[in-house]
């Protein structure tokens, strides 16, 4: 008789992230109409919950789009054609800010960083002093393409000394790491449903400071679906301006209940522990981290010299069903990314490291088998105790 093992699917990507079973069940319920008191109640409860996660007194608006839609909404609602802006290009998604701004007719000053590099706030201050006419600065809390986190609070400190507004892509970081919108003087903050928020892709969230709303009211860029003035007026009536992602919003209500039951503080502690365990585990077997300032959202790891990183990712996915993420263009094959974002626990990291060790062995990388797992276990055991 041939040997056989059931191969379970393990999701270890930075988006979509694993979804609690109670949240999955909500998505299978009969759909309700979005122009009813029943849905309005759910809609407002979710909106209030999002304010708590964003740590703001401002309203948070729900868009039926992924995070890129919210990025575009931020741009077209605050800029006028020809406005000069700064985009911090630190990876795939920092570059996306620049692309969206250029598409919208802005004059873009890019601060281009090597992938994985940090940006001291003083460097941003220098660029702002050279261009005193900057209308907005676009930054990224957690650059998902590299696993790098940035000093959003420090950026806001120097931006607040000018007339510019600070727009932050918090898609993969909001909730999983500190980013209090009001305390850190963030003017526009966005997030995505398939990250810390523990539901499928399809929704994004955006909030504006009073300073940003002044620009929203006067922006002359073309906008219809993403005209945030419509969302503001509709929210007063406890309803969205257009057909919403009804079932996703119902799922978000349940997911927020899960998040608040655990508490945001404990969720962040969980991310810190998993991030530490993953980083130290891969380093223990001779692998190098890609990022110079790694965060707890995901861990980017350099591929051993001479090894095809794309082959490593495919092997983990196809044979061992451990779905991690590879590096994106133009760095394909150079590193891989293990996520510990959202509804992820200690044993998920052990599974990821086990699949990684088995794959590395198969591809000829020499190390002490079991070392990565043992290192992670020691860190995780302390938290279980």
pLDDT in tens, 221-264: 999 999 999 999 999 999 999 999 999 999 999 999 999 999 99
Dihedral of alpha carbons 131, 133, 138, 139, sign:
positive
212/239 Cα distance (integer angstroms): 23
Position 132 scores a pLDDT of 93
- Answer yes or no: is pLDDT of 385 > 80: no
- Answer yes or no: is pLDDT of 172 > 90: yes
Position 383 scores a pLDDT of 83
Position 87 scores a pLDDT of 98
Position 382 scores a pLDDT of 87
368/335 Cα distance (integer angstroms): 21
List of domains in the chain:
10-16+264-384 (3.90.1150.10), 31-261 (3.40.640.10)
Position 3 scores a pLDDT of 75
Position 344 scores a pLDDT of 97
3-class DSSP string for the chain: CCCCCCCCCEECCCCCCCCCHHHHHHCCCCCCCCCCHHHHHHHHHHHHHHHHHHCCCCCEEEECCCHHHHHHHHHHHHCCCCCEEEEEECCHHHHHHHHHHHHCCCEEEEEECCCCCCCCHHHHHHHHHHCCCCCEEEEECEECCCCEECCHHHHHHHHCCCCCEEEEECCCCECCECCCCCCCCCCEEEEECCCCCCCCCCCEEEEECHHHHHHHHHCCCCCCCCCHHHHHHHHHCCCCCCCCCHHHHHHHHHHHHHHHHHCHHHHHHHHHHHHHHHHHHHHHCCCCECCCCECCCEEEEECCCCCCHHHHHHHHHHCCCEECEECCCCCCCCEEEEECCCCCCHHHHHHHHHHHHHHHHHCCCCCCCCHHHHHHHHHHHHHHC
Give the chain's mean pLDDT: 97
Q: What percent of the chain has pLDDT over 70?
A: 99
Under the banding of pLDDT at 50, 70 and 90, the label for residue 5 is confident
Full-model pTM: 0.96
Q: Is the bond into 345 cis (omega within 30 degrees of 0)?
A: no
Under the banding of pLDDT at 50, 70 and 90, the label for residue 361 is very high
**Mean local confidence (pLDDT), 298-324:** 96
**Mean local confidence (pLDDT), 167-178:** 98
Q: Is residue 139 within 8 Å of 150, Cβ to Cβ?
A: yes
Over the stretch 18-39, which tens digit does the pLDDT of each residue have?
Answer: 999 999 999 999 999 999 999 9
Backbone angles phi, psi at 174, to 5 degrees: -60, 130
Over the stretch 123-141, which tens digit does the pLDDT of each residue have?
Answer: 999 999 999 999 999 999 9
Under the banding of pLDDT at 50, 70 and 90, the label for residue 1 is low
Neighbours of 218 (CB within 10 A): 9
Position 341 scores a pLDDT of 98
223/75 Cα distance (integer angstroms): 10
190/140 Cα distance (integer angstroms): 10
């Amino acid at each position: 008789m041939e040997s056989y093992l059931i191969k379970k699917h393990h999701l270890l990507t930075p988006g979509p992230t694993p979804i609690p079973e109670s949240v999955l069940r909500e998505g299978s319920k009969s759909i309700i109409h979005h122009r009813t008191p029943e849905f309005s109640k759910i809609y407002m409860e979710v909106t209030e919950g999002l304010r708590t996660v964003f740590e703001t007194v401002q309203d948070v608006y729900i868009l039926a789009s992924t995070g890129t839609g919210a990025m575009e909404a931020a741009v077209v609602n605050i800029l006028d054609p020809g406005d000069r802006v700064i985009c911090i290009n630190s990876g795939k998604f920092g570059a996306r800010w620049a692309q969206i701004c250029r598409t919208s007719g802005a004059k873009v000053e890019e601060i281009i960083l090597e992938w994985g590099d940090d940006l001291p706030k003083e460097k941003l201050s220098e660029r702002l002093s050279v261009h005193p006419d900057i209308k907005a600065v676009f930054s990224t809390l957690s650059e998902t393409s590299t696993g790098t986190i940035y000093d959003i609070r420090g950026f806001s400190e120097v931006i607040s000394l000018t007339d510019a507004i600070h727009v932050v892509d918090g898609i993969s970081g909001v909730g999983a790491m500190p980013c209090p919108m009001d305390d850190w003087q963030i003017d526009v903050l966005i997030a995505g449903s398939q990250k810390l928020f523990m539901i499928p892709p399809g929704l994004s969230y955006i909030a504006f400071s009073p300073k940003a709303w002044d620009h929203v009211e006067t922006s002359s860029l073309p906008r219809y679906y993403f005209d945030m003035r419509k969302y503001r007026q509709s929210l007063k009536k406890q309803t969205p301006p257009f057909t919403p992602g009804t079932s996703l919003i119902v799922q978000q209500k349940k997911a927020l209940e899960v998040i608040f039951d655990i508490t945001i503080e404990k969720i962040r502690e969980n991310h810190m522990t998993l991030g530490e365990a993953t980083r130290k585990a891969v380093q223990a077997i001779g692998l190098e981290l890609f990022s110079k300032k790694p965060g707890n959202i995901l861990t980017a790891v350099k591929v051993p010299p001479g090894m095809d990183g794309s082959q490593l990712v495919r092997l983990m996915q196809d044979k061992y069903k451990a779905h991690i993420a590879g590096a994106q263009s133009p760095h394909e094959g150079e590193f891989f990314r293990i996520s510990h974002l959202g509804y992820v626990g200690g044993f998920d990291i052990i599974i990821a490291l086990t699949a990684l060790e088995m794959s590395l062995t198969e591809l000829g990388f020499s190390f002490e088998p079991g070392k990565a797992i043992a290192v992670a276990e020691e860190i995780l055991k302390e938290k279980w105790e």
